[in-house]
Amino acid sequence: MKPVKVGICGLGTVGGGTFNVLKRNAEEIARRAGRGIEVAQIAARRPNPKCETGATPITADIFDVANNPEIEVVIELIGGYTLAHELVLKAIENGKHVVTANKALIAVHGNEIFAKAREKGVIVAFEAAVAGGIPVIKAIREGLAGNRINWLAGIINGTGNFILTEMREKGRAFADVLKEAQALGYAEADPTFDVEGIDAAHKLTILASIAFGIPLQFDKAYTEGISQLTSADVNYAEALGYRIKHLGVARRTEVGIELRVHPTLIPADRLIANVNGVMNAVMVNGDAAGSTLFYGAGAGMEPTASSVVADLVDVVRAMTADPTNRVPHLAFQPDSLSDHPILPIGECESAYYLRIQAKDHPGVLAQVASILSERGINIESIMQKEAEEHDGLVPVILVTHRVVEARIDDAIAALEGLADVVGKVVRIRVEQLV
């Protein structure tokens, strides 16, 4: 059989890695796919020194690839929302299958893209969009297809995890570690996407859709970054037996779906609490399988290429199949997506770590305890440290049982209103992940 001709748009970190893996593993890939895969054209504005493209034709215009009649699969690796969106729609309009690593594009425009793809009978594959080299989309969409999924929680931004790990282990400054992550090629073009949780929210939006069979709803995801975390809280969390991780959490409840990215205390002995550096991990809890954990490199040249090429193999195998017999884009049949709502953060439920800076007076702890008990908030543990030398204030740290967020907001407002409490109460969510 003749090889399938594909075009790569973007020859940066992931594009270069994809070209190299396709070339190096060509024979094994053909044995798996049933046909060879030939890169017939590349669109790139500049060469990639880590990638020897030889005689492969190169154009500067990505639309040359989308309009090339020989090409059956367009691999979109340029990133961003605008041009990538136009490119993918053009490729679909021209009847080409698409493989993309673009989480922002899928999270924001995926519903439209999949509808267009269905009209044209083509596949849009996006394994590389979430957690780089970890085949977590396939695991949830296919491997766990027998389960009713209850929740998932993931460390899905390598840059953020690298920063938190270096801060905790080496006491390094936030900005210094971020610079290193940028130099290593992990960070987004706009690194606020990494540290403010936007990149993780893109990925979480995708994971939640395929886990629960809901449309993509990035605009309803709650996002809180790690830039405000202090080493004091990292250390107090440690003393209480927890680690702070930047987690994406999606949970199905009776009343709706929680979709939230925020710093989170996790018991230090959980496997996921020990995922360090740029590594990613996603826990998925299903009613039949129980908790599963998927771990690996969340970014980088060849790990991400591994997922792009796996998608290509899937596309090549499925391209001759009747479109109605293919694995649906969002795991569930498109006419069976659920309208279970995404809950606003005030209606989400979690346990909480609170740090209060109090004046060293008798009765302060009693006032704190009564504010919480009046609101039905149960305290799991409490720790009071000696007064700080520089201001004489006493840090009071406590962890609550699970409670709806609006109730904690109300308690925090009351705590901040106490004459003996100084400044803002620090609040970090806590998840047990069992």
Q: Shortest distance, CB of residue 186 to ligand HSE, whole angstroms?
A: 4
**Number of residues engaging ligand HSE in binding (CB under 6 A):** 11
Q: Would you say 14 is a known binding-site residue?
A: yes
Question: Is 68 one of the binding residues for ligand HSE (CB under 6 A)?
Answer: no
Residues identified as active-site: 203
Has 188 been labeled as part of a binding site?
Answer: yes
Q: Does 174 bind ligand HSE (CB under 6 A)?
A: no
Residue with Cβ nearer ligand HSE (185 or 241):
185
- Residue 218 binds to ligand HSE (criterion: CB under 6 A): no
Tell whether residue 166 is a contact of ligand HSE (CB under 6 A): no
- Spatial neighbors of 125 by CB under 8 A, at least 6 apart, are 97, 98, 99, 100, 311, 312, 314, 315
Q: Is position 303 an interface residue for ligand HSE (rule: CB under 6 A)?
A: no
**In terms of DSSP bridges, do strands 73-76 and 4-9 run parallel, antiparallel, or are they unpaired?**
parallel
Strands (E), 176-329: 222-223, 242-252, 257-267, 279-286, 290-297
What one-letter code names the amino acid at 311? D
196 binds ligand HSE (CB under 6 A): no
- Residue 75, strand partner residues: 8, 99
In sign, the C-alpha dihedral spanning 252, 132, 326, 113 is: positive
DSSP string, 317-333: HHTTS-GGGSPPTTSS-
Asked whether the CA dihedral 346, 351, 353, 358 is positive or negative, the reply is positive
Name which position in 19, 114, 174, 186 contacts ligand HSE (CB under 6 A).
Answer: 186
Whether the CB-CB separation of 131 and 154 falls below 8 Å is answered with: yes
| Least distance from ligand HSE to the Cβ atom of residue 299, Å | 4
Residues 6+ apart with CB under 8 A from 352: 399, 400, 403, 408, 427, 428, 429, 430
- Minimum gap (Å) between residue 160 Cβ and ligand HSE: 7
Tell me if 223 contacts ligand HSE by CB under 6 A: no
For residues 140 and 356, which CB has a smaller minimum distance to ligand HSE in the complex?
140
Q: Residue type at 46?
A: R
Alpha carbons 343 and 341: distance in angstroms, whole number: 6
Stretch that binds ligand HSE, among 104-112, 153-161, 395-403, 419-427 (CB under 6 A): 153-161
Q: Which of 159, 209 has the CB closer to ligand HSE?
A: 159
Helix axis angle for 301-318 and 26-33, nearest 10°, is 30
Q: Is 294 in the site for ligand HSE (CB under 6 A)?
A: no
Cα 168–Cα 194–Cα 174 angle in degrees, nearest 5: 35
* Using rule CB under 6 A, residue 16 touches ligand HSE: no
The single residue among 100, 102, 157, 264 that binds ligand HSE, judged by CB under 6 A, is 157
End-to-end CA, the chain: 49
Compare residues 16 and 132 and give the one whose CB is closer to ligand HSE.
Answer: 132
Write down the least CB distance from residue 37 to ligand HSE, Å.
24
426 near ligand HSE, judged by CB under 6 A: no
Extract the tokens encoding 431.
Answer: 């998840």
Dihedral sign (CA 198, 203, 207, 213)? positive
The residue range among 42-50, 92-100, 181-189, 252-260 that interacts with ligand HSE, by the rule CB under 6 A, is 181-189
- Please give the helix or strand (H or E) that residue 422 lies within, else none: none
Cα–Cα distance list, 399 to 240, 259, 353, 356, 418 (Å): 9, 22, 4, 12, 19
Map residues 109-148 to x or -, x wherever contact with ligand HSE holds by CB under 6 A.
-----------------------x----------------
- Assess 332 for contact with ligand HSE (CB under 6 A): no
Q: How far is the CB of 130 from ligand HSE (least distance, A)?
A: 8
Q: Tell me: does residue 188 bind ligand HSE (CB under 6 A).
A: yes
Nearer to ligand HSE among residue 196 and residue 405 (C-beta) = 196
- Report the nearest approach of ligand HSE to the CB of residue 337 (Å): 25
Q: Pick the piece of the chain touching ligand HSE (CB under 6 A) from 156-164, 231-239, 267-275, 324-332.
A: 156-164
Residues engaged in binding ligand HSE (CB under 6 A):
132, 157-159, 186-188, 194, 199, 298-299
List the binding residues: 9-16, 103, 188
